[in-house]
Amino acid sequence: MNETGNALLRYLPLVLLAIAWEAVSRFGLVSSSALPSLSDVVRAWIDLVKDGELITNGLASLYRAAAGLALSIALGSVLGIFMAWWRPVNVLISPIVEIFYPLPKSALIPVTVIWLGFGDGSKILLIFLGCMLPVTIGAFNGARSSEQVLVWSARCMGASRLRTLWDVVLPSAMPELLNGIRTALALSFILLVSSELIVAQKGFGFLIGFLGANGNYDAMYAVVLTVAFLGFAADRIYLLITERALAWRAS
Amino acid sequence: MAGVVVSDRPNGLPEKAARAAYTLFWAGARVFSIVLLLAAWEILARSGTFTPFQLPAFSRVLARIWDDALSGDLAINSALTLYRALTGFLIAAVGGVMLGMAMSRNTLARWFFDPIISVGFPMPKIAFLPVVMLWLGVFDISKITMIVFDAIFPVVAATVIAIQGVERELIWSARNMGARDSELLWQIILPAALPTIMTGLQVALPLSLIVAVVTEMLMGGYGLGGAMMTASRFANSTAVFAGIVEIAVVGYVLIKGMALVRRRLLIWHQEAAAPYTQ
Amino acid sequence: MAPSAQIVINRVNHLYRPQHGRDVLALDQVSLEVGNREFVALLGPSGCGKSTLLYLIGGFLPVETGTILIDGKKVTGPGPDRGIVFQHFALFPWKTVRGNILYGLERQGMPKAEREKRTMDFIELVGLAGFEDSYPSQLSGGMKQRTAIARTLAIDPKILLMDEPFGALDAQTRGLMQSELLRIWQRTPKTVIFVTHDVQEAVYLADRVAVMSARPGRIKTIVETKFDKDNRDILKSKLFVEKVDEIWNLVKEEAIKAQQKRSFSQEAEP
């Protein structure tokens, strides 16, 4: 079977589920308010796009997630690498990391609201704080895995100590760092939706809550599925991009 | 880097004392960092850079936790949150392992669930909470359902990988010695798969706590998450900070407890401990 | 030996200080002189400190007791005058063969056209033409080691430090690589310090073999081993076999002593 055929076969169960969904609601097996039919949901989705609600809220959400994530990647990777490079930094910072590791980051939602209110700021701060952890840990473990003999080889070829940080430690850390960022990516979506469901004035989470409160369940389902799909798509796109960057690994 | 090397120096009392001091120093350095952090918090709070609302002093937060403990609120809320998290976790654990086992042995199950798991994994499943609430109301059952929905994914994924990863040689040796299918499964495959399954469980447990807290925040009422939301609505920042510390402690206890269980169960397995180690 | 030898190692000690556990004396009053373009082998049992000595010469470890002089100047750090080749190749896995070899030349500030040409010259010298755009993960052990050697030779070091470079290769490849190394060495002669625990390899390749004792490492004896290296049949000659035997007996005592020390140290084997 060719490649497209294989892909279709692989995702066929999802298609079957979609068909089953439509069938179940069409035949009135479940109350139509709890489970609107797939076709109703699709129609509601199109309406939401048309009147701009989905796009406006979507962009607001994506902006928050992107900003928080970008900040956490920038700071987290630098921090993680320096923790591995200089022992004093490690001794100082890693107990802090160990403390925050078991904390459910969602517990920080009320605090960020206290500090920055209901708007973008609190969400960005929350995502930044939450995503710092996997990025830092990935950068740290990745940098630690860089081999002494590689650094020595670079040094004997004329690289200064600082230069080896860029030429050897950073590329060595890449696989684990990119993995940590992948975790952070998923986490950013989770924190985004959680915080917007609980306290927001715009965004996907807000829209879901708003539509639900108004009994507009078709549209609510539409947004839920949109967010879920975006999370999935973001992960897949990320994998596609990073696979190329890691092409040098064992083939 | 390892331990005992016979050196050319004597091993008398001074050497032993030096090594003890050395170990103490490094243990002390770690605690020192935390103490420094807490001290900085206290000083910063009192310095007036932030209002008591934005940054209540650590001492006040501690006092609030103590009050909560005395009044029994801490116990009730923690117990509720733990009850929900652990119930959800256990259902996800058992269900997840069974589904993972089914997927490994049955091609149809494998074909059907594989895309569901791989597509569902990176989705922010918390987005489905309003849907779950629509179906099941605002009681514990919807919280626990949400927890199971979230936590089951890492368990299934880990189980499938674990069972697939069992070395062929182990299975062939066992068959060679006459093991039947059921014996093979319970006596050989599951123990061999246990380390990886445990890793999946170690991901699922904190996840259960996270989801429990979020669902409580959304639905209010009792529980650590609910209490934090109430405090937040009353603009009681001390109570909010207290809540964070309480949840952090619960999270810490769960993770350490899990690591302990792992060490006990896997005493036979030479392997490093939890995902993040120094 | 010329009065001012190129490498003068004088009463060097090295103390290894692990993070946990006690200090270990790895080298004890080691003295050795190596002349220009000499091929010297450091031979000894595991843990005797031969690699440590190499790293000290290379400037990767600091010389705390004693001195190491290269052309009369103290060693203060790593540099392109002492190129190193490691047992497990130490290639940058994210760079191609070409990228690995170019790296040192880039650090030297060589202009682009010149670097590209020099890189291709060395790729051809070690017989890897056609593989310049492959990644290390796509190469066999022997090819990786040839890349490592090319990479080090490209920066034209006066001294070549080799840390059991053929230890990770299978026996057949090892034999081929030994001949390769000699061929390259005869074309571009350099001072070579070659660490190994294989007696036959040491006697075949080196002009002199320095036998080291078990830890703490000392130079036990130095034996002249100049043979006609162009001819691999020399390995079967009576003279050669006797020399190997002589040196093997010297090493054997040390190997037994090394086995008896209860050591679980996991540092890069000295």
Sort out which chain B residues have CB atoms less than 8 A from C264's CB and list them.
2-5
- SS3 string, C82-106, reads EEEECCCCCCCCCCCHHHHHHHHHH
C47 touches B: beta carbon within 8 Å? no
A-B Cβ pairs (cutoff 8 Å, strict): 161
- SS3 string, C111-166, reads CHHHHHHHHHHHHHHCCCCCCCCCCHHHCCHHHHHHHHHHHHHHCCCCEEEEECCC
> Which pLDDT band, with edges at 50, 70 and 90, does B12 fall under?
low
Whether B5 and C264 lie within 8 Å, measured CB to CB: yes
Pairing of strands C7-16, C65-70: antiparallel
Residue type, B97: V
Candidate from C19, C21, C25 with C-beta closest to B4: C21
Candidate from C19, C216, C261 with C-beta closest to B1: C19
pLDDT value at C209 more than 90: yes
Cβ under 8 Å to A: C residues 207-246? none
* Interval C16-66: pLDDT, tens: 888 777 888 889 899 999 999 899 999 988 878 899 999 999 999 999 889
Whether B5 and C19 lie within 8 Å, measured CB to CB: no
pLDDT value at B9 more than 60: no
Q: Which residue has the higher pLDDT, A93 or C199?
A: C199
- Select the residue from B147, B276, B277 to test the A interface by mutation, using most A Cβ atoms within 10 A: B276
Share of chain A above pLDDT 70, in %: 97
3-state secondary structure of B92: helix
pLDDT value at B24 more than 80: no
* Interval C123-164: pLDDT, tens: 998 889 999 999 999 999 899 999 999 999 999 999 999 999
Q: Of A140, A138, A135, whose CA–CA distance to A69 is shortest?
A: A135
C-alpha C168/C-alpha C165 separation (Å) is: 7
Element of type H or E holding C28 = strand C24-34
Q: Are B128 and B146 in contact (CB under 8 A)?
A: yes
Average pLDDT for residues A71-78, to the nearest whole number? 95
Whether A249 and C60 lie within 8 Å, measured CB to CB: no
Lowest mean pLDDT across A51-65, A182-196, C4-18:
C4-18
* Interval B92-131: pLDDT, tens: 999 999 999 899 888 899 999 999 998 999 999 999 999 9
Q: Are B190 and A82 in contact (CB under 8 A)?
A: no
> Which pLDDT band, with edges at 50, 70 and 90, does A251 fall under?
low
pLDDT at C138: 93
Whether A114 and B54 lie within 8 Å, measured CB to CB: yes
**pLDDT, averaged across chain A:** 89
C249 touches B: beta carbon within 8 Å? no
Q: Sign of dihedral through CA atoms B226, B232, B233, B239? A: positive
A137 touches B: beta carbon within 8 Å? yes
Average pLDDT for residues B185-207, to the nearest whole number? 87
pLDDT at B274: 39
pLDDT value at C82 more than 50: yes
Whether B244 and A111 lie within 8 Å, measured CB to CB: yes
Candidate from B1, B6, B9 with C-beta closest to C20: B1
**Predicted ipTM?**
0.86
Average pLDDT for residues C228-235, to the nearest whole number? 77
Whether B248 and A99 lie within 8 Å, measured CB to CB: yes
Is the peptide bond prior to B130 cis by the omega test (within 30 degrees of 0)? no
Whether B5 and C22 lie within 8 Å, measured CB to CB: yes
pLDDT at B179: 76
Share of chain B above pLDDT 70, in %: 90
**pLDDT, averaged across chain B:** 83
Candidate from A11, A98, A106 with C-beta closest to B214: A106
Cα-to-chain-centroid distance, residue C14: 19
Average pLDDT for residues B173-196, to the nearest whole number? 81
Average pLDDT for residues B20-29, to the nearest whole number? 72
Cβ under 8 Å to A: B residues 42-61? 53-54
Sort out which chain A residues have CB atoms less than 8 A from B81's CB and list them.
none
Q: Of A180, A185, A187, whose CA–CA distance to A140 is shortest?
A: A180
Candidate from A148, A156, A163 with C-beta closest to C80: A156
pLDDT at B39: 85
C-alpha B190/C-alpha A92 separation (Å) is: 41
